[in-house]
Amino acid sequence: MATGAREKFDNIIEIKNVSKVFDGITVVDDVNLAVRRGEFVTLLGPSGCGKTTLLRMIAGFEMPTKGSIFLEKTDVTTLPPHLRPINTVFQKYALFPHINVFKNIAFGLKLKRIQTGELDKNGKPVTRKFTKSEIKEKVERALKLVGLEAYGHRDVTGLSGGQQQRVAIARAIVCEPKVLLLDEPLGALDLKMRKEMQHELAAMHKNLGITFIYVTHDQEEALTMSDKIVVMTDGAVQQYGTPKKIYDEPANAFVADFIGESNILSGVMKKDFLVEFCGTAFKCMDKGYGKDERVDLVVRPEDITVDKNKGALKGEVVSSVFKGTYYEMEILANDYQFTVQNTVEYGAGETVYMSVEPNGIHIMKKLKTVNEFDGVIAAENVVSFCGGDFEFVPYDAFEKGDEVRVKIPFDKIELTDDEADGVIGANVTQTFYKGSYYQVQIYTDDDNDFFIDTVDEWDIGDRVGVRIDPRDVTVVRREPRIESEHAAAAEESAEADGVGEAEVPDGK
């Protein structure tokens, strides 16, 4: 391969085991990421997921608590922002209101020094400032790139929001950074302007050829503009891939729920290429699962075919809403309410039949259904973990202070409306409808996650109490981790028997 081609596909940024902790709360959790030169990469996730903190660490505005950040294979972890060949565009434009558009864009160039190619008497490179003609040429080129050629003399306070954002981008790119970071730059614009700027940003990226790293919580923005998308929640990367890969093959229930609309169900793999859900067997494209292995699966609303007379699954239309180019219907079948998008409308109360082609069903492996935590014996029948003292039924002799492992199945945890009614308090961070139940993720005050399977619906942000029947708390001695083939085989055998199956990403 030629050198130029090899450099094109080099990783310009490498993030290795980066974590960030604020006041004892982990906001970025052991992130590993590599960004190729010239890519448009979007950090996507809900508010508070750590995406902006990660961007600020790349820029140098925040230092990682642990881990390293490399730029072109050079460790820049502790390097201040002004020494990194990186510029940032913020949601708030931060333009200087007392100077015109041209001077706003030229500001960074006037401060920048470039090497002349000569050495001084001490052998150090000689630097100089840009000349007025060089600054004029670069500013005019930047204005042209953002479509503001005739606006150089204008006062920035008289520009529209979209025009001010273009000025901010021009100011960032005029210094020719190797990486451009954009932190929700379109957040303050109206819907029409946002859509226009999405296409303009994609075109700018193509023309400039530099690496863009973009932060947003908007799925459409990410899918429209990106070469790659990093989906984040709770400070961790859930999936990294192309927009098509993430949409068609979500790695877990969170990604499936966050990217586009999804029907997320629990099912059973009867054999290779055959999965059963809602009491009906469907052909699929997946293989390699155990016989009768429990799985999660995703069916997108547009992949469901509806017919009045025939189909694999019988249901009843609950509601129908016209969305412009299609009707979005809610159809109840075997206690699961499907969201379906169809060009033909069926009215509420009608009986219909649904079918799904094999390539419309995406299977996801369950990793566990049991919460596990490290704990300490506080009394004969009391174990301390996650900031609370929980009673349990001892089946072994423990001493006070013994370090133990605590296990609670997802469906054996009760959430209470009043925090005072529980042993500990927590906030609801995610909720997924899984057919006949909801899977709820809560975040405790001491920075731990619980997953609960419940028939009750909870809203994100709800403050809840956590209560567990002592008979459902399993406490075992904490054994040293044994890294061996025998231990791995035993773990795999336990998972096959249904112990430790999960609907959450590794490490959570």
Across 490-496, average pLDDT: 42
CA-derived radius of gyration, the chain: 27
Of 163-172, 283-292, 350-359, 456-465, the least confident = 163-172
pLDDT given for residue 437 in this prediction:
78
Where does the pLDDT of residue 484 fall: very low under 50, low under 70, confident under 90, or very high at 90 and above? very low
* Of residues 52, 63, 83, the one with CA closest to residue 182: 52
Strand runs labelled E in 150-283: 179-183, 211-216, 228-233, 236-241, 263-271, 274-277, 280-283
pLDDT given for residue 435 in this prediction:
64
Cα distances (Å, whole numbers) of residue 29 to 21, 54, 229, 237, 252: 8, 10, 18, 8, 18
Percentage with pLDDT > 70 across the chain = 91
More confident residue, 382 or 8: 382
pLDDT given for residue 501 in this prediction:
38
pLDDT given for residue 188 in this prediction:
67
Supply φ then ψ for residue 150, to 5 degrees: -95, 10
Mean pLDDT across the chain: 86
Of 278-282, 390-394, 460-464, 501-505, the least confident = 501-505
Across 385-399, average pLDDT: 92
* pLDDT one-digit tens code per residue, 97-139: 889 999 999 988 888 887 888 888 888 888 888 889 999 999 9
Highest mean pLDDT among 142-156, 174-188, 398-412, 442-456: 398-412
pLDDT given for residue 494 in this prediction:
42
More confident residue, 504 or 429: 429
Q: Does this model's pTM top 0.75?
A: no
More confident residue, 91 or 147: 147
* pLDDT one-digit tens code per residue, 459-482: 988 999 999 999 999 999 987 554
pLDDT given for residue 282 in this prediction:
96
pLDDT score of 354 more than 80: yes
More confident residue, 60 or 165: 60
Count CB atoms within 10 A of the CB of residue 367. 16
* Of residues 298, 188, 246, the one with CA closest to residue 41: 246
